[in-house]
Homo-oligomer: A and B are copies of this chain.
Amino acid sequence: MSTTPYETLVADLKEANVIGSIGSLLGWDQQVNLPPKSHDRRGEQMAALSKVYFTASTNPRIGESLKALEAKGDAATDDEKAVRRHVRKDYDRLTKLSAEFVAEKARLDTEAFQVWTQAKPANDFAMFAPYLQRQIDMSRREAAMLGEPDAYDYLIDKHDPGMTAARIEALFDELKRDLVPLVRRIVDSPVKADQSRFKGFPAELQRVFSREISAAVGFNFDRGRLDTAVHPFCSGDAKDTRMTTKFKEDFPLSSVFSSLHESGHALYEQGLPMDQIGTPLGEAVGMGMHESQSRLWENQVGRGRAFWKRFEPRFREVFAPRLDGVSSEALYLAINDVGLTPIRVDSDEVTYNLHIILRFEIERALFAGTLEVADLPAVWRAKAKELLGLELKSDAEGVLQDVHWSGGAFGYFPSYCIGNMIASQLWYAVLKQMPDIEKDFERGDFSRLLGWLRTSIHAHGRRYDTEDLVKRVTGEGISPKYLIRYLDERYVPLYRR
């Protein structure tokens, strides 16, 4: 029996994906297990495997199968259409860049990262600026080589298929209009959360609680693990999902929400069609949609009263007697602590979005040519003042704070906020269909919500682009109004004195 071009393509994609999954495991092991001086060996292993992965994923037969599938035009099945569309993008991105370009980019990534690690503590933006400029130039060249008319749109599409800078700008402008005054209202409130009572929560007990809530929301430990790493992440796929968290003895709520966040990512992975792993039909839509899943579980579910109705008694029991004397209301306020900080990664779910809008506006201007790299520190400070009301003391807590740009990861930041918007929008769609769903949570039952996400989002893989899928599920395109509504409903009553 002869195989069709589609079958051949799927087999080749899956073969490359298996190699890629080994790289993912090596990366997980590096963060979780690697002995401190064994990084040289891991470097050799990653380099060797990258070569193998590149060979497998640029297999010329993939190109031939693609052409054959494209020649079918409208006669192609829906699966074939979805697969050929994404694989064409991926394949071109891998094969149309010259070897010299790829090598130059790899060198620049290493160099720029090294320089950034020095420039940040030295608070020396001028030192980093030439590398940032080169990364911008490289991104433009990359887009040009692929025949993309707009470099920034191309970068955004890499993370969130179908999204554009113009679309994001419209969304963020609307969001900003309501969010800036909301944040002001919360931080000006005399109501303040108190984190000082959370001292000396042993890591071993935090591990117990984290595992319990991950299992409760539906993480399948038969096909996954929860370990510790310096920076929490989720890797692997539906067949073997590895997530990590970290335990701070004086900030136990951090591991609770990092565990829920990574569980959200993991539930998406575990919900993708297992027999399609390696093809676009078995992969997540993109970063924004992935983030919507992690945020929905972390925030809409995990920071809600229903969740804590179920888990507060257990939380107190696991850590007894450490929460004696802390009232339920004080605990709930600590869970929903909002405050201003110049540092994105330390910020709460409300102000986080403003940090993202700041970065997006700067990236957009840089790529539009209306902002020069040299002017970045001043513009950053001005926007921090405008959006957050903060006077920055240094560039280390301003333009130099994030690692992303040193690796040329432009168009990546917006996904976080897109994810937040989608999470809220999905949440209200759920509430519309199942108004009493929080009663489930009070019993520790999250199966209806997970089932809905499985059917509505996970099962489709990458069949639909980000906004198309949102439209399909909620009946309208992405809208910031749900995020505003959610934040209003959760935080305004809480911070009303």
Contact = CB atoms under 8 A, between A and B. Distances in A.
A222 to B, nearest CB: 4
B44 A18 contact: yes
Contacts of A29: 25, 29
Chain A interface category by residue count: 20 to 34
Instruction: Describe A's contact surface by its main secondary structure.
Output: helix
Contact of A222 (B18, B35, B222, B225): B35
Q: How many copies does the complex hold?
A: 2
A354 to B, nearest CB: 39
Interface stretch (A45-53, A102-110, A324-332): A45-53
A223 B35 contact: yes
B18 A48 contact: yes
Contacts of A21: 41, 44-45
A225 B38 CA distance: 11
A375 B224 CA distance: 47
A371 B82 CA distance: 64
A37 interface: yes
A52 B22 CA distance: 12
A449 to B, nearest CB: 23
Interface in A211-268: 220-225, 237, 239-240
Contacts of A26: 22, 25
A41 to B, nearest CB: 4
Contacts of A38: 222-224, 239-240
Interface in A35-71: 35-38, 40-42, 44-45, 48-49, 52
A404 to B, nearest CB: 29
Given A22-B26, A33-B225, A239 B40 contact: yes
Contact of A240 (B35, B225, B239): B35
Contact of A36 (B22, B36, B45, B222): B222
A25 B37 CA distance: 16
Contact of A19 (B48, B223, B237, B240): B48
A237 B45 CA distance: 13
A34 interface: yes
A15 interface: yes
Question: Could you say which of A21, A33, A42 has the most chain B C-beta atoms within 10 Å of its C-beta?
Answer: A33
Contact of A34 (B33, B220, B240): B240
A22 B34 CA distance: 13
A131 to B, nearest CB: 30
18 contacts: A18-B48, A19-B52, A21-B45, A22-B22, A22-B26, A22-B48, A22-B49, A25-B25, A25-B26, A29-B29, A35-B223, A36-B222, A37-B222, A37-B223, A38-B240, A41-B237, A42-B240, A52-B52
Given A22-B22, A25-B26, 7 more contacts: A15-B48, A29-B29, A35-B222, A36-B222, A38-B223, A38-B224, A42-B240
Lowest 4 A-B CB distances belong to which pairs?
A41-B239, A38-B240, A37-B222, A18-B48
Interface of A: 15, 18-19, 21-22, 25-26, 29, 33-38, 40-42, 44-45, 48-49, 52, 220-225, 237, 239-240
